[in-house]
Amino acid sequence: MASFVPQQSSFVMRCVGATIITTCNRLVISTFDQTAKYIITKQHDMKREDAIKLCRYYHGEKECKLKEQTDIMFWEYERVWVHETLKENDTSFFSEMLSLYIVIGLKDFEKFDDTPITLKALLFDRFCKWRSGAPIDNVSEFKTFYKQTYKSK
């Protein structure tokens, strides 16, 4: 599991190559959680058609034919997710995203829906990129966004 180190004056979190620093009493979260590594490794066994079946917007087509900007964005995220999921012996793309997603407390969020945790972690990462503040401050809004925007179609 990820290690936590108490910090008195700042919060430092690595999230997909970016370092986020805020001034408050938080925890320093180390990267790459063993649970994340296990999940990613198991996912590499998936076949392309099985991965595509788990997508809501991307269906394996070469070009996006969707018209709404939000749908196009989700199509692209899912396309990238399928591509990265099928890379054998490469956990680098998902490792930090998934570790953060798990450590921040989202591991069991909508656990029984049909969206893989690595895709949710990717969506959370992208959601945090659009928003200000630390990822921990975006958890509640992400849950609403996920349920009302991503899963609504």
3-class SS string, the chain: CCCEEECCCCEEEEECCEEEEECCCCEEECCCCHHHHHHHHHHCCCCHHHHHHCCCCCCCCCCCCCCCHHHHHHHHHHHHHHHHHCCCCCCHHHHHHHHHHHHHHHCCCCCCCCCCHHHHHHHHHHHHHHCCCCHHHHHHHHHHHHHHHHCCC
What pLDDT is recorded for position 133? 84
- Report the pLDDT averaged over residues 50-66: 95
What pLDDT is recorded for position 54? 94
**pLDDT of 7 above 70:** no
- Report the pLDDT averaged over residues 71-82: 96
What pLDDT is recorded for position 93? 83
Higher-confidence residue of 46 and 137: namely 137
- Report the pLDDT averaged over residues 122-130: 95
- Confidence band of 42 (pLDDT split at 50, 70, 90): low
- Report the pLDDT averaged over residues 103-118: 93
- Report the pLDDT averaged over residues 21-38: 45
**pLDDT of 24 above 80:** no
Please provide the average confidence, as pLDDT, over all residues in the chain: 78
What pLDDT is recorded for position 41? 60
